[in-house]
Amino acid sequence: MHVHFLDPFHNGTSLIHRLDPRVKLVFTLAYIVTASLLPFGAWAAYVLLLAIVLSVELASELGIGYVLRRALLATPFVLAAVPLIFTVPGTLLFTFSLGAWTFTASLEGVERLLSIAFKSWVSVQMAIVLAATTSFPNLLMAMRGIGIPRLLVAIVGLMWRYIFVLVDQALRLLRARAARSGATPEMGRRVGGSIVWRAQTTGGMAGNLLMRGFERGDRIYAAMAARGYDGEVRAFPLPQVPLTQWFGLGAAIFLFALILLFSILIVG
């Protein structure tokens, strides 16, 4: 079974697709760093960042809905910041008791939570646009082009390429389990043992998958070493970045610096 549906790349001819991958990578990193450095509660600056990422999404021709649906990936990570509502001191909003504990929510805590949620949301959107408009080999070459260490690039490349192999192995295990499982025509009746039995079966499958992954990794590395692999992915060098794209990248980084300065002034 093929699992190429995991690849987020969408081939296209939009303005964002045609940009050099090094320019897109540096732009995305600069955007994420700017978002992370903005002070909490700088809502005017947040609106500017949102306008930038929405403009990029429109220029990429991916569709705002496509990016927003996938940006929900950041939701579980935002939940980790919910305790900030009750741990950050400030203006009292409400208080409630849960058994022997009393929780007090503050306005500053809510503001910090919403700020973290927004920063994560727009940063994930920009990363999605980068992945959807840049093929993975070009992205690896861009990482090497901007000076990211060779070992780190090799780890990222191998992790991405062989996650498809791991998923394929997991699908084979699930298919084998389905082939060995009974079925009943009665609606609503479950076939199998107790919850503990199901957990043991799932744990055994996970262990089997882990062992298969280790064995497959050893075989792959031995094959690569036999062919002279030394940690560097050989490919044709990327062409020179057009001067107009360098100017555009410089203007974007200058704009990010202005937004950061503006946010510091309005909050501080």
d(CA 131, CA 62): 11
Q: Indicate the residue type of 245.
A: Q
What's the token pair of residue 29? 């990193």
pLDDT of 1 reads 43
Would you say 142 and 238 are in contact if contact means Cβ atoms under 8 Å apart? Answer: yes
Would you say 137 and 9 are in contact if contact means Cβ atoms under 8 Å apart? Answer: no
pLDDT of 21 reads 92
Q: Indicate the residue type of 189.
A: R
What SS3 state is found at 66? helix
Q: Can you give the residue ranges of every domain in the chain?
A: 1-147+239-268, 149-180+193-235
- What tens digit of pLDDT does each residue of 140-181 get? 888 888 888 888 888 888 888 788 777 877 888 888 877 776
pLDDT of 189 reads 61
- What tens digit of pLDDT does each residue of 200-241 get? 878 888 888 888 888 887 888 888 888 887 766 666 677 888
d(CA 167, CA 173): 10
Distance of CA 82 to the CA centre of its chain: 20
Give me the helix-helix angle, 64-71 and 43-60, nearest 10°.
Answer: 120
Would you say 248 and 23 are in contact if contact means Cβ atoms under 8 Å apart? Answer: yes
Q: Kindly state the helix (H) or strand (E) to which residue 24 belongs, with its residue range.
A: helix 21-37
d(CA 247, CA 143): 20
Q: Beta-carbon neighbour count of residue 219 at 10 Å?
A: 10
Quick one: what percent of the chain has pLDDT higher than 90? Answer: 32
pLDDT of 2 reads 45
Would you say 10 and 133 are in contact if contact means Cβ atoms under 8 Å apart? Answer: yes
Would you say 119 and 10 are in contact if contact means Cβ atoms under 8 Å apart? Answer: no
What SS3 state is found at 83? coil
- What tens digit of pLDDT does each residue of 59-106 get? 999 888 889 888 887 788 788 888 888 888 888 888 878 777 888 888
Nearest to 135 by CA among 166, 168, 161, 155: 161
Q: What is the pTM of this model?
A: 0.79
d(CA 158, CA 226): 17
Q: Where are the beta strands (DSSP E) in 64-222?
A: 92-98, 101-106
d(CA 125, CA 75): 12
DSSP state at residue 159: H
pLDDT of 12 reads 85
Lowest-pLDDT range of 24-33, 52-61, 237-246: 237-246
